[in-house]
Structure 1
Amino acid sequence: MRILSISTGKISPLFGIDHPDHKVVNSGIKKDVVSSLEQPNIVLVRKVGIDGDEQADFSVHGGLEKAIYAYPAEHYNFWNELLAREVKRTEPIGHGFVGENLSVEGFTEADVWVGDIWQIGEVELEVVKLREPCFKFNARMGYKGSAKAMIQSRRSGWYLKVHQGGTIKAGDGIIVTPGRRETNIDMQNAFLLRKEQQKDLF
């Protein structure tokens, strides 16, 4: 289990949003890889997240409880197949595109439990909760069904809080210390899916 890449982004305008009240909105979802296996640059982690990363709306991403967003790199095959089919996208998307800071290998939502501690060198992180997609995710993906697809497929990724800052880089291994192991991210996804299905009934 390791980090394949680290991505950060600045707040910038996001266009083409399928939302009745917004044509343009600021977002930090557009991220670029700053550390990769090919170029494993060292990145500083602070209590509020990765150095150089910005968030426009702390209610959905950022702050101490959602400082870092991790996403399984294995999910990118799903998104590339979906976008090729639904919007005829020909250029595949890559790490960081869905807005994650850490593209990780060796985890699925069923393997990741709320309260687990991740040790990456001197950096200590704690798993907090799943990512709930919104209309900004649809705009970023260029497909209005993206948020629904994330919920239905239960490929959400998860947020981490920072207990101990320090430096990390792509290629670093992740050592997991189990927490109470009462709820995993897949369970949270299943609950969110049921809630969204109930909304659709009204």
Structure 2
Amino acid sequence: MSLAVIDIAIDAVLAGKVRPYGPKGLPSGIDKTEVHDAVRVTTIGLAIDEQGDPKHHGGPEKALHHYARDHYAHWQTELSAYADAAIDVLARPGAFGENLSTRGLTEADVCVGDRFRLGTALVEVSQARQPCWKLNHRFGYAGMSRAVQNSQRTGWYYRVLEEGEVRRGDRLILLARPCPQWSLQRLLRVLYVDRLDYAALAEMAELPVLAESWRKLARQRVARREVEDMEKRLSGSPAADQS
């Protein structure tokens, strides 16, 4: 099978500082703004970017977050009846806390383990995003994290294999695709739709290029024959029951 041709421009590079966020003032760097100068890409993310919760955000397996600007039009239509604040947030890239914004590339076009030249850096797709409750406050809509999860328009993360620099206008070029059968679209369907497809979960658990936390999740679903509780991640509070 020939390698897919992906060569697109980076429309925006974004970074943020940690600030108090949400009703409890918890530290977060989700509010990111566009950077116009070249930025150093390190193994733990953009050199000028910050994360308020390093246990769940950032680090080698979530060094860079990429979100398709293509999805913004869908969100503007879907959220127009829910929150004026959401429309304001969607007026510019960075609404989802992403570091990279592009057009012409979505979860249907990207596979787990895809290697890209990003500016002068070399990056590899490590996992899709699991949306959390911070999106609810970001958009002024209590159901936003769940809506992102259900839509499967989540964005994705890269690990950094070779450090370098990136700036707006640089190219993102696909160099290798070791797992063409595992698009992010398929990965998200297994995670959120066909949640107890044991054959797919077993295959997912053996993907060496998939982040270990996702492989562990797949192993646990197969072993326990049940889906993990997602309520705390989605709403910020544990579920009333674990059914």
Structure 2 runs not aligned, ≥5 long: 1-7, 197-226, 232-241
CA distance in 1 between partners of 2:125 and 2:50 (Å): 20
Q: CA deviation at 1:187?
A: 1.4
TM-score by length of 2: 0.72
- The residue correspondences of 1:69-88 to structure 2 (distance < 5 A) are 69-88=65-84
Q: CA deviation at 1:115?
A: 0.6
Whether contact under 8 Å (1:80, 1:92) holds in the other structure is no
1:148 is paired with a residue of what secondary structure?
helix
**Residue in structure 2 matched with residue 103 of structure 1 by the alignment:** 101
**Greater relative contact order structure (CA < 8 Å, 6+ sep):** 1
Q: CA deviation at 1:52?
A: 0.8
More helix by proportion, 1 or 2? 2
- Residue 9, structure 1, aligned to residue 16, structure 2: yes
Deviations 1:136-159 (A, max 9, x none): 111111111111111111100000
TM-score by length of 1: 0.86
- The residue correspondences of 1:1-202 to structure 2 (distance < 5 A) are 1-16=8-23, 23-35=24-36, 41-89=37-85, 91=88, 93=90, 94-177=92-175, 178-194=177-193, 195=195, 202=243
Amino acid across the alignment from 1:91: D
Whether contact under 8 Å (2:22, 2:134) holds in the other structure is no
CA distance in 1 between partners of 2:84 and 2:93 (Å): 20
User: When the two structures are aligned, how many residues end up with a matched partner?
Assistant: 190
Whether contact under 8 Å (1:2, 1:106) holds in the other structure is no
Q: CA deviation at 1:191?
A: 2.0
CA distance in 1 between partners of 2:157 and 2:27 (Å): 21
Structure 1 runs not aligned, ≥5 long: 17-22, 36-40
Q: CA deviation at 1:92?
A: 5.3
CA distance in 1 between partners of 2:115 and 2:142 (Å): 35
Amino acid across the alignment from 1:171: G
Amino acid across the alignment from 1:57: D
Q: In percent, how many aligned pairs have the same letter?
A: 35
Whether contact under 8 Å (1:124, 1:163) holds in the other structure is yes
1:91 is paired with a residue of what secondary structure?
helix
Whether contact under 8 Å (1:47, 1:67) holds in the other structure is yes
CA distance in 1 between partners of 2:56 and 2:178 (Å): 24
